[in-house]
């Protein structure tokens, strides 16, 4: 029995990615470059903050140094965080979330304490070296935590990207209906219908 004439323009149905799982590529973005900015900014902040702590008796020296340290850390941390997020476009790239949370908390406390100490210095109130040094170390630790997250995010993205390039692509499956007429062993004609798949 004739079911249909031979098909000359088969209809392809393409199933979206997800019907067959495959590794998804990821891009490390500029996470490593941002981490380098964080290293430089954090080092400058620690050096200036330490110098400010050593000169608390001279407000004309310690206040500008403290402002410089605050600006260095205040700018570096958001840059590192933004750079790290550029590598987390793929949801499989998580980075060091614990370090990231700790970094943001430390960053907020650093900025609040630093502004308070600068305000006390401008008001000619007594500021002790230990106070300045504690804020300096907190700012350095916060920057370091964000740097760890940036490097971790970049490494995960690079690893995922390498896996995607080496693994076979199975994210597209094309199904082709096949139908027509064939002569059987008795000399008659039989209709046939089937499905062919390409990966």
Q: Residue 122 above 50 pLDDT?
A: yes
From residue 121, give the alpha-carbon distance in Å to each of 47, 117, 139: 19, 6, 19
Rounded Cα distance between 10 and 18, Å, is 24
Task: Determine the Cα–Cα distance for residues 60 and 129; give it in Å rounded to an integer.
Answer: 15
The whole-number pLDDT of residue 1 equals 43
pTM tops 0.85, yes or no: no
Burial of 6 (0-12, 13-18, 19+ CB in 10 A): exposed
Model pLDDT for residues 134-175, shown as the tens digit of each residue: 999 999 999 999 999 999 999 999 888 665 544 444 455 555
Average pLDDT for 130-137: 97
Is residue 164 within 8 Å of residue 174, measured between CB atoms?
no
């Amino acid at each position: 029995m004739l079911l249909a004439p031979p098909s000359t323009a088969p209809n392809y149905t393409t199933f979206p990615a997800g019907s067959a799982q495959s590794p998804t590529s990821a891009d490390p973005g500029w996470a490593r470059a941002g981490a380098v900015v964080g290293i430089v900014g954090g080092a400058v902040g620690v050096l200036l903050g330490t110098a400010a702590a050593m000169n608390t008796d001279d407000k004309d020296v310690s206040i500008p140094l403290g402002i410089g340290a605050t600006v260095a850390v205040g700018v570096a941390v958001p840059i590192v965080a933004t750079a790290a997020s550029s590598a987390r476009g793929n949801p499989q790239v998580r980075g060091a979330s614990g370090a990231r949370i700790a970094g943001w908390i430390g960053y907020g406390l650093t900025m609040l304490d630093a502004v308070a100490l600068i305000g006390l210095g401008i008001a000619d109130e007594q500021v002790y070296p230990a106070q300045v040094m504690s804020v300096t170390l907190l700012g350095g630790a916060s920057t370091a935590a964000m740097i760890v997250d940036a490097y971790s995010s970049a490494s995960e993205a690079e690893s995922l990207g390498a896996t995607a390039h080496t693994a076979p692509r199975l994210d597209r499956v094309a199904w082709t209906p096949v139908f027509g007429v064939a002569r059987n062993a008795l000399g008659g004609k039989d209709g046939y219908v089937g499905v062919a798949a390409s990966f």
